[in-house]
Chains A and B, each alone.
Chain A
Amino acid sequence: MRREPRVKTLRIDDCDCAGREDQTVLDVARENNIRIPTLCQINGLTNVGSCRMCLVEVKGVPKLLTACTTMVWEGMKVVTNSERLHEYRKMILELFFAERNHICAICVANRSCELQALALELGVDHIRYPYLYQALEIDSTHDKFVLDHNRCILCTRCIRACSEIEGANTLGMMRRGVNDKVITDLNQPWGESRTCTSCGKCVNVCPVGAIYEKGLSRTESRREHTFLPYLTIMRGER
C-alpha cells in the first residue's frame, strides 16, 4: 500500500516552515524563498553533497550539514546564513579558485559562470590561498565538445547527467582529492569514446567553463538547464 509522505514542521532562520519528509532542507528553504548558495546541486539530478557550499547549522548537531542532502525532520532548527557559514563558504570558493587555473577574462563561461557569480555574491574579491598552478590538460579530441580540466571544480554534474539522464555512462571520475579528474570511458581521449552519444547534456549542466561546445563564442554558449526537471518527470520519478 502506498504510504503518503508525512509532513514535518521545522524552523529555517526566522521562518516556520513545513516540508514533506522526503524533502531536503534545501528544497524547503527554496520553497520559502530562503537563499542557500549551491554549486554541485542541480534540479533533475541526484544530490551528492560534494561542493559543500550549502552547509547549514542545525541546532543540536555538532557538525555542519549539507542542505542539499539532509532530509528535514520534525522540530529541526536550521540556520542558513551565520557569519561562520559565510566565512566557510568564502573559503570553499577561494579553494576552488586556488586549486585550478581560472582565468575568467578569457573563459567561455565568463559572466555565465556559477563559480564566478557566487564569488561576486559572497564578496570574494581576492584569493587568500596560494594558487597551485597545476599543469592540467585540455581534451579537445571530441568533434563537438572540449573538456578543460583547468576550470573543472569536480562537481560531478556532468557525470550524473551522463549516467542518470542520458544513460551513456561515458563520464567518470578518477583519483582522489586534489588529484581528482573527470575522465571519459577508461581515461581515453574523449574523441575515442565509444559510449559518448554526443548529446551535450554534460555541456548544459556544467556550472563553469570546463565543458563547452566547440566553435561557439561566449554569448552563444549559454547553458540550457531547464530540460533536466522535465526529463526526471518523464522518467517517472515523482
Chain B
Amino acid sequence: MRERNKARVATVWLDGCSGCHMSIFDMDDRLLELKDRIELVYSPLVDAKDYPKDVDVALVEGCIGNEEQRKFAHTMRASTKTFVSLGDCAVTSNIVAYRNPFKMHDVIHRAFIENSEGEIVLPQEDVPPLLPFAVPIHEIIDVDVYIPGCPPSADLIHYTLVELLEGRHPDIKNRFG
C-alpha cells in the first residue's frame, strides 16, 4: 500500500562497508521526525526483494564492483527520481578501488586461493562476476546528488534529505575522506 503524502525513499548498499548506513542511523531522533515524511520502500533494513517503482529519493552507498551491481544500477536509475551517491565509495570508489591497479585474476587468486584455509573453491555460480574495476556509480549511470565523505556525517545526510523533501537541490560542500 502506498502511503499518501510521503516521499518514497530507498537506501541501498553496494560495494561499501555499511559505514554510510551507520551514519544514516546516527541521525538518531531525527529519524523519528523523518518517519512522518518518508516511506522507506527499499533498504537493507526492510523486507523488499525487488527494487520498487517510483522511488523519489535513493541514497546509495558503495561503488559498483560486479556485474549484478552494474545491472542493478540501471534498474534503480530507471525507477528513481533523485539518485544520491552517498559517501566516498559511491562517489570515488574509495578503498574498494584498492583492488583496481591489480589484475582481476590476481585479485581472485589472492582472495580465494592464497587466503583460503582448507579446500580451495573458486566461485563459479551464485557469486556475480567481478568487473575489471570497481568504479564510482556515476561511471555507470547518471547521478543527481553527490555526498563525499567517509562516511558523510549524519548532519549532512539529514540536511540533504530535508532539502530534497522540500524540493530543493542541496548545496553540498564536504571534503573527500
Q: Which residues of A contact B (CB under 8 A)?
A: 97, 101-107, 110-111, 116-117, 119-120, 123, 125-128, 130-131, 133-136
Contact = CB atoms under 8 A, between A and B. Distances in A.
B11 interface: no
B100 A133 contact: yes
A28 to B, nearest CB: 29
Contact of A126 (B98, B102, B136, B177): B136
Interface of B: 85, 88, 91-95, 97-98, 100-102, 133, 135-136, 138-139, 143, 146-148, 150, 172-177
Contacts of B91: 125-126
Candidate in A106, A110, A123, A133 with the most chain B CB atoms within 10 angstroms:
A133
A135 B88 contact: no
B175 A136 contact: no
Given A125-B172, A126-B138, A133-B133, A106 B101 contact: no
A101 B97 CA distance: 8
Candidate in A104, A119, A128, A134 with the most chain B CB atoms within 10 angstroms:
A104
A117 B95 contact: no
A105 B88 contact: yes
B148 A126 contact: yes
B93 A131 contact: yes
Contacts of B147: 125
A102 B85 CA distance: 18
B142 to A, nearest CB: 12
Contact of B88 (A104, A117, A120): A104
Contacts of A130: 135, 139
A135 B135 CA distance: 16
Given A105-B94, A119-B176, A125-B146, 20 more contacts: A102-B176, A103-B94, A103-B95, A103-B97, A103-B98, A105-B150, A105-B177, A111-B177, A119-B175, A120-B173, A123-B173, A125-B172, A125-B174, A126-B85, A126-B136, A126-B143, A126-B146, A126-B148, A128-B138, A133-B100
A131 B100 contact: yes
A104 B100 contact: no
A124 to B, nearest CB: 9
Candidate in A103, A111, A116, A126 with the most chain B CB atoms within 10 angstroms:
A126
Summarize A's interface: helix, strand, loop or mixed.
loop
A106 B176 contact: no
A135 B150 CA distance: 23
B97 A133 contact: yes
B97 A135 contact: no
Q: Which 5 A-B pairs have the closest CB atoms?
A: A104-B177, A105-B150, A133-B100, A135-B101, A125-B146
Contact of A105 (B95, B138, B146): B95
B85 to A, nearest CB: 7
Contacts of A134: 101
A120 B146 CA distance: 13
A127 B101 contact: no
Nearest to A120: B175
B148 to A, nearest CB: 6
A130 B85 CA distance: 16
Contacts of B100: 101, 131, 133
Nearest to A129: B139
A108 to B, nearest CB: 11
B63 to A, nearest CB: 11
7 contacts: A104-B88, A105-B95, A106-B95, A110-B177, A126-B143, A127-B136, A130-B139
